[in-house]
């Protein structure tokens, strides 16, 4: 029996993780994949997607960085959302993820050069998610030291709502300049 070397996407594309190609990248596949993946391996009080997380991060950055913020976790649409402790045990995954992220950035003309701003917004989102979606996770997370959560509570979206909101936010960013 032959081993399948690609991931079939929502739109019917083939994505080859070992040999990713730009022609295998599609914004609807990304929106769909992120919207149907629960953050934190599903260990949350309600379904909360990576797409909704990306929307929160995009809302926290200046307009010029919103497209990049929407795509900061886009590789997870193809590779899955591996939790931090597991990523630490599988260091090669980080290299694969970085390569896919670079390819996605290239496909959509995104520059992650000002990633510090996006990373800070990502941490604010994370602090908010921990507070609102992980009520039994009472231990401190050292990488959130000094990071305050947002004032507003998260209202989780269903997958289709998150996908639609992600695509709407994407289109508000304007045409892709590649």
112, two tokens: 């992650």
DSSP 8-state secondary structure symbol assigned to residue 147: P
Residue 178 has pLDDT above 80, yes or no: no
7, two tokens: 């991931």
Domain boundaries, the chain: 26-172
Please check whether residue 68 is in contact with residue 111, taking contact to mean a CB–CB distance below 8 angstroms: yes
3-class DSSP state for residue 14?
A: strand
CA distance 2 to 86: 28
91, two tokens: 């260091």
Q: What pLDDT digit, counting tens, does each position of 112-165 carry?
A: 877 899 999 999 999 999 999 999 998 988 989 999 999 999 999 999 999 999
CA 175 to chain centre: 20
146, two tokens: 């000094």
Yes or no: is domain 26-172 CATH 1.10.3210.10? yes
Q: What pLDDT digit, counting tens, does each position of 18-68 carry?
A: 888 888 899 999 999 999 999 999 999 999 999 999 999 999 999 999 999
CA distance 52 to 48: 7
54 vs 80, higher pLDDT: 54
């Amino acid at each position: 029996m032959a081993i399948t070397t690609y991931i079939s996407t929502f739109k019917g594309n083939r994505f080859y993780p070992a040999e990713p190609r730009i022609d295998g990248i599609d914004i609807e596949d990304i929106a769909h994949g992120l919207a149907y993946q629960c953050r934190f391996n599903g260990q949350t009080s309600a379904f909360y997607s990576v797409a909704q997380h990306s929307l929160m991060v995009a809302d926290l950055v200046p307009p010029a960085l919103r497209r990049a913020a929407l795509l900061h976790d886009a590789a997870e649409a193809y590779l899955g959302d591996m939790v931090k402790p597991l990523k630490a045990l599988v260091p090669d995954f980080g290299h694969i993820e970085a390569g896919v992220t670079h390819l996605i950035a290239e496909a959509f003309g995104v520059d992650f050069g000002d990633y510090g701003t996006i990373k800070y917004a990502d941490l604010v989102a994370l602090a908010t998610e921990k507070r609102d979606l992980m009520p039994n996770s009472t231990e401190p997370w050292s990488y959130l030291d000094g990071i305050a959560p947002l004032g507003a509570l998260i209202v989780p979206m269903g997958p289709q709502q998150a996908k639609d909101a992600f695509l709407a936010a994407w289109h508000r960013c304007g045409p892709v300049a590649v």
